[in-house]
Amino acid sequence: MNAMSGLMLLDTPSLYYRAFYGVPDKVTAPDGTPVNAVRGLIDMIARLVADRSPERLVCCMDADWRPAFRVAALPSYKAHRVAGADAADGAAGGAGEETPDALEVQLPVIDAVLDAVGLARLGVPGYEADDVIGTLATAGRERGPVDVVTGDRDLFQLVDERGPVLVLYTARGIRNLEVLGEKEVAAKYGIPGRGYADYATLRGDPSDGLPGVPGVGDKTAATLITRFGSLAGLLEALDSDVREGLPAAARRKLEGARDYLAAAETVVRVVTDIDSPELRALDDDLPRAPRDPEALAELAERWGLNSPVERLLKALAGS
Pairing assessment for the beta strands 178-180 and 165-169 based on DSSP bridges: antiparallel
The answer to whether the beta carbons of residues 169 and 177 sit under 8 Å apart is yes
Give residue 90's pLDDT: 39
Give residue 98's pLDDT: 72
Give residue 89's pLDDT: 42
Summarize pLDDT for 186-206 with one digit per residue, the tens: 999 999 999 999 999 999 988
For residue 313, what are the contacts with CB-CB under 8 A and spacing of at least 6? 117, 289, 290
Q: Where are the beta strands (DSSP E) in the chain?
A: 7-11, 56-60, 120-122, 146-150, 165-169, 178-180
Return left, alpha or beta for 7; rule: phi > 0 is left, psi -120 to 50 is alpha, else beta: beta
pTM of the model: 0.92
**What gap in Å lies between CA 91 and CA 97, rounded to an integer?**
11
3-state secondary structure of 59: strand
Complete domains list, the chain, with CATH: 7-182+271-318 (3.40.50.1010), 196-268 (1.10.150.20)
Instruction: Pick out the chain residues at pLDDT < 50.
Output: 84-95
Indicate the length of the chain as a whole number: 319
In this structure, the dihedral spanned by the alpha carbons of residues 113, 117, 119 and 124, taken in order and rounded to 10 degrees, is 40
Give 108-114 contacts, CB < 8 A, sequence gap 24+: 109/35, 109/38, 109/299, 109/303, 110/12, 110/16, 110/37, 110/38, 110/41, 112/295, 112/299, 113/38, 113/42, 113/296, 113/299, 113/305, 113/309, 114/59
Summarize pLDDT for 77-116 with one digit per residue, the tens: 988 777 544 434 433 333 356 789 999 999 999 999 999 9
Give residue 47's pLDDT: 97
Return left, alpha or beta for 298; rule: phi > 0 is left, psi -120 to 50 is alpha, else beta: alpha
Q: How many CB atoms lie within 10 A of CB 319?
A: 16
Q: What are phi and psi of 11, to 5 degrees?
A: -80, 80
